Amino acid sequence: MAETALATSMSPSAEPQQKIEGLTMVVFSGDLDKALAAFIIANGAAAMDIPVTMFFTFWGINIMRKEGPVRVSEKKSFMETMFGWMMPKGPGKLSLSKMNMGGIGTMLMKKEMSKKNVFNLPKLIQEARDQGVKLIICTMSMDVMGIKKDELLPGVDFGGVGKFIYNSDNSKNTLFI
């Protein structure tokens, strides 16, 4: 049924669908500043009753990883273990894309945000969940990077590029962050 709806929505001969007032984002970056921007936009749109879908792919998946060591039910290959070891584990471990300065810039940014009562990334993620933002993790990127479902925060959905395209095709706005 879902495949038929997807095929119909992407078929050139299908009649144009009325786009809903919605926002779909590809979250490709695992940088703290870009993740903050994505979740601030998502929460702002959700607060305005605009349906929001966030599709996390490649480095963006690290935003949605659990922090600390996580036991996984499936055995990982050597390369998957290495990827997992090298990538940040969760929203609290991300660094700035510019002026990181060996972690000092990230620490200063977090301190300034706290001083000015700006929600940190874990709080923004929780707020997005509370507002019904759809959080979708790209299964192809998970496979390539060796990330298992056990390693991800609760409350996420899983899908491939077809799921992203379907959501994007039915939204008024699509952003790439």
Q: Could you report the per-residue pLDDT of 102-127, keeping only the tens digit for each?
A: 889 889 999 999 999 999 999 999 99
Per-domain residue ranges for the chain? Answer: 22-176
pTM given for the model: 0.83
Instruction: Give the residue-averaged pLDDT of 94-103.
Output: 87
The SS3 assignment for 134 reads strand
pLDDT band with cut points at 50, 70 and 90 for residue 83: confident
Q: Is 22-176 CATH 3.40.1260.10?
A: yes
H helices of the chain, in order, are: 2-10, 32-47, 78-86, 104-115, 121-130, 139-145, 161-169
Q: Is the pLDDT of residue 57 over 70?
A: yes
